[in-house]
Amino acid sequence: MIRVFMAGCDINRSPLSYRALAPLFEGAVERVARPEQADLYLFTRGLGIRDAPRDLVMDWRARRRPVVLLSEEPFWDTTCTRRPLERDIVIDTAFGALPVVQLNHHTSAIFRFARIPYYLLTNNRFVNAYRWRFARNAARGAGHWKRAFADRAVDLTFMFERRMGAPYDGRWPAGDTIALCDWRSRMALACDTGAVERLGQSWQGGISRFQLNNWHFDKLMRLDDHCRSMGAIENTHQPGYLTEKLFDAFACGARPLYVAGPGHRVHDLGLPPAAWLNLYGLSPQEAAARAAVPFVDDGFRDAYHAAQVRLAALFGDTGALLAERTRLRAALLAELQGVLDRAAALPGGDPSCDPGQSAVSKGTSTR
């Protein structure tokens, strides 16, 4: 049994916290109420470690138990710590610096999915929604898509947060990691051909979609059979990082606009390249121009139908879903046990971080 003290902002964004995933770890991981009861301390965001409670830092000074940053979100890694490729980092707190083991898409095997991307496991609503919609879409022949794309009044819809500026830009070539929020926001603004929609609080005002009881259901209902193309660009290009965005576009019957380098795992899905538009390597202006090119022809319709059939088979395969959950459990437990084994091999704790020395003085500031 691994005893874990979980703290910090967004701690609900963890495989150990999601209602759909937490039962996988019963009998193997125990969440404890106090730092001094834990084998390790676990956070999900660098910001949470910066704001670590005093009793945790004091307990680390006394016992030197591992501090783990279990980050499922490359966006956090690129905007907060800005060091997404390093497994061992140091983060300042109000009570001194802490050495941190960063487990994310790049540094661990936890999120390296086999067939179904990790994020789609975090809530059962994703697979449930896709199973029905892709079965429906697969039953529609190429002739249906010819009529559907011809009849739609909206050419292109974007529904993602508008985020611009230096914090949302950056590249880490060694990990093929690119911050895309600034890029995709500028690309959306550059699209001015035909009927273009930019939806959501950051574009239109009003309440955030995430205040809704089921933001994903709301999105699918609003955009089903609605537009010809849909922005499905992730907030971060990381080879193993896929969220709901690409699948939502296909589920709604739209052509996805995506960004994926040659080594990106999206290519492992086996979707015909003609069924979606890959904007990798383009400037925002070039991407906008590419998205405006007419695309609905016989080749596209056949490829799009084939993509729907393939996605219906994927999400209709209960065995694939169960295998992915089993893989996730094994990978996370192996990583956590590895962290503990490494700590046990260092008597007295990690000597790399003097509790009296800040990360700034060590030249490794995360600020």
Q: pLDDT category, 213, cuts 50, 70, 90? A: confident
Residue 356 predicted with pLDDT over 60 = no
Going by DSSP bridges, is the β-strand pair 96-103/29-31 parallel, antiparallel, or unpaired? unpaired
What pLDDT was estimated at residue 365? 35
Q: What is the mean pLDDT of the chain?
A: 94
User: Is the pLDDT assigned to residue 352 strictly greater than 60?
Assistant: no
| Phi (first) and psi of residue 150, to 5 degrees | -70, -35
Query: Which pLDDT value is given to residue 362?
Result: 40
| Average pLDDT, integer, range 32-52 | 97
The answer regarding whether domain 2-111+324-344 maps to CATH 2.30.30 reads no
**What is the share, in percent, of the chain residues with pLDDT greater than 70?**
94
Task: Kindly state the tokens that stand for 259.
Answer: 């960004």
Nearest-CA neighbor of 324 among 131, 126, 133, 112?
112
Nearest of 8, 16, 9, 51 to residue 333 by alpha carbon: 16
* pLDDT higher than threshold 60 for residue 57: yes
Nearest to 72, CA basis, from 198, 209, 235, 305: 235
Query: What is the model's pTM?
Result: 0.93
What is the CATH number that goes with domain 123-316? Answer: 3.40.50
Query: What tens digit of pLDDT does each residue of 277-318 get?
Result: 999 999 999 999 999 999 999 999 999 999 999 999 999 999
**Sequence ranges of the chain with CATH classification 3.40.50:** 2-111+324-344, 123-316
| 3-state class (DSSP) for residue 285 | helix
**Which pLDDT tens digit goes with each residue over 125-136?**
999 999 999 999
Does 36 have pLDDT greater than 50?
yes
Q: DSSP label at 212? A: S
Least confident stretch, 102-111, 213-222, 296-305, 354-363 = 354-363
HEC string of 110-171?
CCCCCCCCHHHHCCHHHHHHHHHHHHHHHCCCHHHHHHHHHHCCEEEEECCCCCCCHHHCEE
In contact, 102 and 81? CB cutoff 8 Å: yes
* Token pair 């490829």: residue: 303
Report yes or no: 122 and 20 within 8 Å, Cβ to Cβ. Answer: yes
Task: Flag whether pLDDT at 148 surpasses 70.
Answer: yes
